Amino acid sequence: QQARPVSRGAFIVVEGLDRAGKTTQVKRLCDSLYAQGHNVKMIRFPDRTTPVGKMIDGYLQSKAQLDDHSIHLLFSANRWEKAAWIKGQISQGYTIICDRYYYSGMVYSAAKQNPALSLGWARSPDVGLPRPDRMIFLDLDAKEAEARGGYGEEKYEKRSMQERVRELFLGLLLKGEEESTDMVVVDAGQSVEHVAHAIWKETSGVVQSVESGSRKQIGT
Ligand code: NYM
């Protein structure tokens, strides 16, 4: 189908625990939007291909040790590296579907239970990044996530950590700030088809209204 002229593209973020099915669902959402004639691009964080991303990859694979604050700032820097690109694509009419964003940044760092690293501190280096039009949180019990073939070898892929991450994600709903108003929870414990349908219900209308110009410029 021919892509039609649009006012700007939408910015949609998909979040969730490790093994929640984000990557599969992000791909499906991109395919469905594309099939309906939208211009769409996918992006993921961490982006391990950049110089900062390579440092993050080394840390996640336990090849490099970093202070909790330092790695947090690298994850944030990795998003800032792409901020201008995201804005540029959106203004050219591309809808961006993003696998993880600053919500992962906040909650994974805060879940480390380092008393010097609060959720508030963790949010601050990301202030000013393009704000999503919608964030979908794929919610899954940590036990169920683990049952899906087990966690891998990377840092954070432990049940207790994932339980704290989930609690912190759900806690964002209660914050009463933009994190809560942008966020919609989707039960990721259902079949791939059901989850895809639920995500479609929560995003297609947003994409339509953004592209047709009834939503203002991208926020920060
Ligand atoms: N992660 C991801 C963070 O700790 N902070 C961040 O800002 C981001 C974007 O990286 N366990 C963590 C969550 C994951 C890990 O992500 C790698 P993925 O989606 O498995 O590549």
Domains of the chain listed by start with CATH number: 11-211 (3.40.50.300)
Assess whether pLDDT exceeds 80 at residue 220.
Answer: no
CA–CA–CA angle 9, 88, 43 (5° rounding) = 70
Planar angle of CA 202, 121, 108, nearest 5 degrees: 55
As a whole number of Å, the end-to-end CA separation of the chain is: 32
Q: What is the mean pLDDT of residues 35-49?
A: 97
Say what the pLDDT of residue 89 is: 98
pLDDT at residue 74 tops 80: yes
Check: CB of residue 131 under 8 Å from CB of residue 182: yes
Q: How far apart are CA 94 and CA 85, in angstroms?
A: 11
* Ligand 1: residue whose CA is nearest its atom 7: 105
pLDDT, tens digit, 9 for 90 and up, residues 89-98: 999 999 999 9
| Among 161, 136, 159, residue whose Cα is nearest residue 147 | 159
Cα(201) to ligand 1 centroid in Å equals 26
Tokens coding 187: 């039960």
Enter the tokens of residue 100: 């993880």
- b/e code 98-121 from CB counts within 10 Å (16+ = b): bbbbbbbbbbbbbbbeeeebebee
Sequence-distant (≥ 6) Cβ neighbours of residue 29 within 8 angstroms: 12, 14, 97, 196, 199, 200, 203
In the chain, the amino acid numbered 76 is: S
Residue 200 CB less than 6 A away from ligand 1: no
If we measure between CA atoms, which residue out of 43, 132, 63 comes closest to residue 71? Answer: 63
Which mutation among 48, 74, 100 tests ligand 1's pocket best, with the greatest number of atoms within 8 A of CB?
A: 100
Average pLDDT, the chain: 94
The reported pLDDT for the residue numbered 141 is: 93
Answer whether 18 contacts ligand 1 (Cβ < 6 A): yes
In this prediction the pTM is: 0.95
215 closest CA partner among 5, 9, 33, 3: 9
Ligand 1 within 6 A of 17 CB? no
Q: What is the pLDDT of residues 169-187, one digit of tens each?
A: 999 999 877 888 899 999 9
Check if 156 has its Cβ closer than 6 Å to any atom of ligand 1: yes
The yes-or-no verdict on residue 52 having pLDDT over 70 is: yes
Q: 22, 23, 108: which to mutate for ligand 1, most atoms within 8 A of CB? A: 108
Which residue has a Cα nearest atom 20 of ligand 1? 18
Measuring from atom 18 of ligand 1, which residue has the nearest CA?
A: 46
Find out whether the beta carbon of 105 lies less than 6 Å from any atom of ligand 1: yes
d(CA 104, CA 169): 8
